[in-house]
Chains A and B, each alone.
Chain A
Amino acid sequence: MANITMTVNGKSVSGEVEGRTLLVDFLRTDLRLTGTHVGCDTSQCGACTVHVDGIAVKSCTMLAAEADGADVSTIEGQANADGSLSAIQAAFQEHHGLQCGFCTPGMVMAAADLLKKNAKPTEAEVRHHLEGNICRCTGYHNIVKAIMAASGQDVSQLAAE
């Protein structure tokens, strides 16, 4: 067992974990931050995406102990300080970029990562960036549209509907 301390969504947290405990399990089970989801066991689906020290990471692929001392943000920390939806979250709602909601936290975290690196991504860049995030519900159309809209681009002409 190891004692770990990290910042999660701006708050300092600590806990005692086994060496084999994954970051996602620490978040979900110890911290009860159940917004981060587990959709696979081969690091393919991206439902578990969080940011560790500003970089998007699949939290099913990282040990909790590796995040000792890190600054972690999860879906629970994405809304604005007044509780209103962030620009990305609001765009997902506006453009119906989610259905069952299970992939959604990972999609929002992946989108935030993309827009930090590329303020105005093209359709192809968005699709490429989502390579590690699987959604079974939306067919991706409205997710891509929402992310482009969140970057301030006019999406009204993107596709005939």
Chain B
Amino acid sequence: MPKDSGIGASSKRREDVRFLTGQGQYTDDINIHGQTYVHFVRSDVAHGKINSIDTSAAEAMPGVVRIFTGADFEGIGGLPCGWQVTDRHGEAMKEPAHPVLAQGKVRHVGDPIAAVIAESLEQARDAGEALNIDIEELPAVVDMKAALSEGSATVHDDLGDNLCYDWGFVEENKGAVDEAIKNAAHVTTLELVNNRLVANPMEPRVAVGDYNRANDESTLYTTSQNPHVIRLLMGAFVLGIPEHKLRVVAPDVGGGFGTKIFHYAEEAFCTFAARQINRPVKWTASRSEAFISDAHGRDHVTKIELALDADNNFTAVRTETLANMGAYLSTFAPSVPTWLHGTLMAGNYKTPLIYVNVKAVFTNTVPVDAYRGAGRPEATYQLERVIDKAARELGVDPIALRRQNFITEFPYATPVAVEYDTGNYVATMDKLEEIADISGFEARRKASEANGKLRGLGVNCYIEACGIAPSNLVGQLGARAGLYDAATVRVNATGSISVMVGAHSHGQGHETAFPQVVAEMLGIDESMIEIVHGDSSKIPFGMGTYGSRSIAVCGSAMVRATEKIINKAKKIASHLLEASEADIELKDGQFTVAGTDKSCAWGDVTLAAYVPHNYPLDNIEPGLEETAFYDPSNFTYPSGAYACEVEVDPDTGKVTVERFSAADDFGNIINPMIVTGQVHGGLAQGIGQALMENCAYDENGQLLSASYMDYAMPRASDVPFYAVDHSCQTPCTHNPLGVKGCGEAGAIGSPPSVVNAVVDALQSAGHNVTHIDMPVSPSRVWAAMNS
């Protein structure tokens, strides 16, 4: 029987009512008395030298309050990068300055040059048109290979060239890997592109800066996944505002997918300018502006080699990747192609030798950073594509080849420095074969053929590292922050509870799922518990939501804080019941003395804590409120197996996804309904990447896909109903809930099976096609079939 409350119940989401009735409070819904509007004037060339900016005509325009340029930010910090990668030779990565408004040069289309503040947005835009900006266009650096060639123009002249770092992992293994590949019975090689994407949460970014002169306090309302991270980065590194004078609020946020992790120039600008003009400053991105100012995702060009012995055992993997950083280093950009990518190259397989080389490259494009999955989709895609290609070259079944090489014993220490605590890859593959009805595929293929369509089946596995991360470990790897999280459980006098959490919910349903955990632990009703998140003045210092970490890290902190509550409540109960503390049991919201019928209710204890008349004040403080910080001891390792069936129209090359099945192992699950929804959303993004989405630049660095007219977002008719199963559960061994995280799996696990399916469809029809780069658009498929 499914449970109807607590851990494992599909409790309906309490946040839905406000969203369904138009009562959500998103950042753009916030309007502060006396607020002004800022319009950013952005570069329309990819690379150029700013000769002069004449603001005089614009300043005389109606409604203009003040105009800022890069000169106003001299002596003020630039946007910091939160992760320093050390290269193969022990050198620190190159780290360019990133001013809030461009100084001297513009480096990508969209780079902000000036900011016009006016009484209305229309007036700010009108005045922006009247700015006189003289820019001398310079040759643009767009293609990564060209960027690294001798004599290329440089994005940052002071850095000498466009190479950010040349990273090797594990460098000591390089010789052994080269040797194994040389001696292999078979080597499969694949060159591929992991296409550049734009995260596109449906709510564009917004920032509202406010300043209170009376107490010298700044407040920033912003569309962020992690208000405390923004407060730390902006306060300490950009504007020099101490934490107690800076409040960051991320209210309802309309989706993040990674791109709302980072600290952006517009946030710092609105906070800074509000102080300067002593009025609130509001910025709302248009969608077009989002395309040229939100950090992009992916954009790797990779060559991967898989070596096998004569029995088809994997013996080595070697990869070479060029990773686009864009024009500046966004907050976590350097970590994505390195530690979030190289460490996953073992996948689900016991390959003994692995070497990953990544060259990160500066180009005159929008900065690239984490997007749903961040490094792990890139690792999964290349590995699962090359395995499929190897199976076809060797004439073996792709599922059998995977099964033969599965890791089957846990814990398992990979050759790429991580230790998988648990997993059962055989079980998820078994489950996949069942829900995808793999054995029925040939009949469906015949039916498609009878309709003039080519049908293909693609399968892949995935592994991810979630719940980022042990702070001491990531510190050694270059992170400039700790990655614990925090929760405060405040029990009120009448027994209701507010839980203040560092995680942020922007679609994940924390307001519903987190209370399920506390309710289960205390045996009280979920409705007595509310979650407070998103306001740095109300919540403890937590690191926010990304990397599928909320329940694994912040949820663990919440469990620890609740355990402290239980301990103290039992002490109070033992006093009220005149029994020894060791004999007190808490069940269904009742404290009982073991072996007796003496009991008191949850509410009796909470009331006693706040009205301590009959209370052991000598031994225990009044009140019932506890905080815990939780720093994980390892990553978590969700895994799974996915299958995609496509139909290809041989006349047009159009691919349609007919069936998609996902068998995941997320460990224990708090709310299955929410988990299933997370997988659905990830699948649509992965199918979008595989078939439709592409962020394209021309050779001059102009963004060609800068609106929804050109960037193909998946729509309802582009995707099928999905079959999703998460009944295979190997609980995480190192966090108190045994949870692994589920937010990114769908996006990580789906692109390879889509492309594998298209290749299968084409090969089954006799086309000698071994690879098509994403997005597998009709024109690419048609060209491959007719080449």
Known: A35-B22, A39-B203, A99-B508. A136 touches B288 (CB 8 A): no
* Chain A 116-147 interface 0/1 with B at a Cβ cutoff of 8 Å (1 = within): 00000001101110110111111111111100
A46-100 contacts to B, CB under 8 A, are 47, 74-76, 78-79, 85, 89, 92-94, 96, 98-100
Cβ-defined partner of A85 (8 Å) among B17, B28, B202: B17
Distance in angstroms between the alpha carbons of A151 and B208 in the assembled complex: 41
Say yes or no: A136 contacts B22, CB within 8 Å: no
Contact A85 B707, CB 8 Å, known A99-B508, A102-B203: no
Q: Which residues of A contact B12 (CB under 8 A)?
A: 93-94, 96
When C-beta atoms are compared, the residue in chain A nearest to B372 turns out to be A136
Across the interface, do B681 and A127 meet the contact criterion of CB distance under 8 Å?
no
Interface membership of chain B positions 48-75, coded 1 if the CB is closer than 8 angstroms to chain A and 0 otherwise: 0000000000000000000000000000
Would you call B29 and A130 a contact (CB within 8 A)? no
Q: Smallest Cβ distance from B419 to chain A, in angstroms?
A: 32
Contact: A45 with B21, CB < 8 Å?
no
Q: Is B215 an interface residue (CB 8 A)?
A: no
The number of chain B residues with a CB under 8 A from chain A is: 62
- Of B265-273, B324-332, B634-642, B710-718, the one with at least 4 CB within 8 A of chain A: B710-718
Contact with B along A137-161 (1 / 0, CB 8 A): 1111111110000000000001111
Whether B721 is near chain A, meaning CB under 8 Å from some CB there, is: yes
B556 interface hit (Cβ, 8 Å): no
**Is B375 on the interface with A (CB-CB < 8 A)?**
no
The answer to whether A134 and B20 touch across the interface, beta carbons within 8 angstroms, is: no
Q: Is A5 an interface residue (CB 8 A)?
A: no
Mark out the residues of chain B between 317 and 370 whose CB falls within 8 Å of any chain A CB in the assembled complex.
Answer: none
Q: Which listed segment binds A: B250-258, B519-527, B696-704, B763-771?
A: B250-258
* A96 in contact with B719 (CB, 8 Å): no
Query: Which chain A residues border B287 with CB–CB below 8 Å?
Result: 39-42, 45
Q: Which residue of A lies closest to B508 (CB)?
A: A99
Point out the residues of chain A lying under 8 angstroms from B435, CB to CB.
160
Tell me, yes or no, whether A14 is within 8 Å of chain B by CB: no
**CB pair B716 A33 closer than 8 Å:** no
Contact A161 B724 (CB under 8 A): yes
Interface string of B242-254 (1 = CB under 8 A from A): 0000000000111
Q: How many A residues, CB 8 Å from partner?
A: 62
Which residues of A lie under 8 Å from residue B252 when comparing CB positions?
A: 100-101
- Report the Cα distance A13→B23, complex, angstroms: 20
**Binary contact readout B1-27 vs A (1 if CB under 8 angstroms, 0 otherwise):** 000000000001101111111111010
Q: How far is the CA of A13 from the CA of B200 in the complex (A)?
A: 35
Q: In whole angstroms, what is the CA distance A142 to B684 when docked?
A: 12
B623 within 8 A of A: no
**For B133, what are the chain A residues with a Cβ–Cβ distance below 8 Å?**
none
Residue of A nearest to B674 (CB): A96
Interface presence of B746 (CB below 8 A): yes
Q: Is the beta-carbon distance between A103 and B681 smaller than 8 angstroms?
A: no
**Bound-state Cα–Cα, A99 to B202, Å:** 11
Distance of B682 from chain A, by nearest CB (Å): 7
User: Contact: B681 with A99, CB < 8 Å?
Assistant: yes
Nearest B residue to A102 via CB reads B254
A34 interface contact, C-beta 8 A: yes
1/0 contact trace for B711-738 toward A, CB 8 Å?
A: 0011111010111110000000000000
Complex Cα distance, B386 from A131, in Å, reads 35
Query: Smallest Cβ distance from B102 to chain A, in angstroms?
Result: 24
How far is B722's CA from A153's CA once the two chains are assembled, in angstroms?
19
**In the complex with contacts A20-B122, A102-B26, A140-B716, A41-B286 CB distance below 8 A:** yes
A136 touches B201 (CB 8 A): yes
Question: Does A8 sit within 8 A of B, measured CB to CB?
Answer: no
Per-residue CB proximity of A28-39 to B under 8 Å, as 1/0?
A: 110011111111
Are A139 and B719 also in contact (CB < 8 A) when A39-B203, A92-B16, A93-B13 are?
Answer: yes
With known contacts A37-B26, A41-B288, A98-B16, A137–B507 Cβ distance under 8 A? yes
Contacts of A142 in B (CB 8 A): 677, 680
A108 interfacial by beta-carbon distance below 8 Å:
yes
Which B residues lie within 8 Å of A89 (CB)?
20-21
B204 at the binding interface (Cβ < 8 Å): yes
Whether B570 is near chain A, meaning CB under 8 Å from some CB there, is no
B716 neighbours in A (Cβ, 8 Å): 126-128, 130-131, 133, 135, 140, 143-144
List, in ascending order, chain B residues with CB within 8 A of A85's CB: 17, 20-21
Distance A47 CA – B287 CA, assembled complex (angstroms):
12
Also in contact, A79 and B254, with CB within 8 A (given A99-B509, A131-B716, A136-B681): no
Given known A-B contacts A85-B20, A89-B21, A93-B17, A159 and B255 have beta carbons under 8 A apart = no
Q: Are A34 and B677 in contact (CB under 8 A)?
A: no
Asked if A138 and B681 make an inter-chain contact with CB atoms under 8 angstroms apart, the answer reads yes
Task: Check B24 against A45 for contact (C-beta < 8 Å).
Answer: no
**Cα–Cα, bound, A126→B717 (Å):** 9
A44 beta carbon closer than 8 Å to chain B: yes
Docked pose: A28 CA to B284 CA in angstroms: 13
Chain A residue nearest to B676 (CB atoms) is A161
Contact between chains at A101 and B122 (CB < 8 Å): no
Interfacial chain A residues near B396, Cβ < 8 Å: none
Q: Within B479-514, which residues are at the interface with A (CB < 8 Å)?
A: 506-509
**Contacts of A138 on B, CB cut-off 8 Å?**
677, 680-681, 684
- Pick the residue among A78, A140, A159 that contacts B21 (CB under 8 A): A78
Least distance between A105 CB and chain B CB atoms (Å): 5
Contact: B21 with A35, CB < 8 Å?
yes
What residue of chain B has the Cβ atom nearest to residue A83's Cβ? Answer: B21
Chain A nearest CB from B506 CB (Å) reads 5
Which residues on B sit within 8 Å (CB–CB) of A40? 287, 707-708
Chain B hits for A141, CB < 8 A: 680, 719, 721-722
The residue of chain B having its C-beta at the shortest distance from the C-beta of A144 within the complex is: B716
> Which listed residue (A93, A124, A145) contacts B16, Cβ 8 A?
A93
B673 and A45 contact, CB distance less than 8 A:
no
B101 interface residue per 8 A CB criterion: no
* Pairwise interchain contact B677-A96, C-beta atoms closer than 8 A: yes
B460 interface residue (CB < 8 Å to A) = no
Given the known interface contacts A44-B709, A45-B202, A102-B202, the answer about A139 and B22 at a Cβ–Cβ threshold of 8 Å is no
B465 contacts the other chain (CB 8 A): no
Report B-chain residues with C-beta under 8 Å of the C-beta of A131: 715-717
Within 8 A of A (CB), among B720-763: 721-725, 746
Smallest Cβ distance from A93 to chain B, in angstroms?
4
List B contacts of A20 (CB < 8 A): 122
Please determine whether A100 and B507 come into contact, CB atoms closer than 8 angstroms.
yes
Given A96-B13, A128-B717, A139-B683, is A36 in contact with B708 using a C-beta cutoff of 8 Å?
Answer: no
Question: Once bound together, how far apart are the Cα atoms of A64 and B288, in whole Å?
Answer: 22
CA distance A132 to B654 in the complex (A): 21
Chain A residues near B684 (CB-CB < 8 A) = 138-140
Bound state CA distance, A63 and B289, in angstroms?
22
Contact B204 A101 (CB under 8 A): no
Q: Is B685 in the interface zone, CB < 8 Å from A?
A: yes
A-B contact pairs, 27 of them (CB 8 A): A20-B122, A35-B24, A40-B707, A44-B709, A76-B22, A76-B23, A78-B20, A93-B13, A96-B676, A98-B13, A98-B16, A98-B19, A99-B255, A99-B678, A102-B255, A104-B19, A105-B22, A130-B717, A136-B200, A136-B201, A136-B681, A138-B684, A139-B682, A142-B677, A142-B680, A143-B716, A159-B721
**Chain A contact residues, CB within 8 Å of chain B:** 18, 20, 28-29, 32-42, 44-45, 47, 74-76, 78-79, 85, 89, 92-94, 96, 98-105, 108, 123-124, 126-128, 130-131, 133-145, 158-161
Nearest 8 Cβ contacts at the A-B interface: A35-B22, A101-B19, A102-B254, A159-B721, A139-B684, A100-B507, A99-B507, A139-B680
Q: Told that A34-B28, A40-B707, A100-B203 touch, could you supply 14 new A-B pairs with CB distance under 8 A? A: A35-B24, A37-B203, A41-B286, A42-B708, A42-B709, A100-B253, A102-B24, A128-B717, A131-B715, A133-B716, A136-B713, A141-B719, A141-B721, A160-B723
Q: Which residues of B line the A interface, CB within 8 A?
A: 12-13, 15-24, 26, 28-29, 31, 122, 200-204, 252-255, 257, 286-288, 435, 506-509, 661, 673-674, 676-678, 680-685, 707-709, 713-717, 719, 721-725, 746
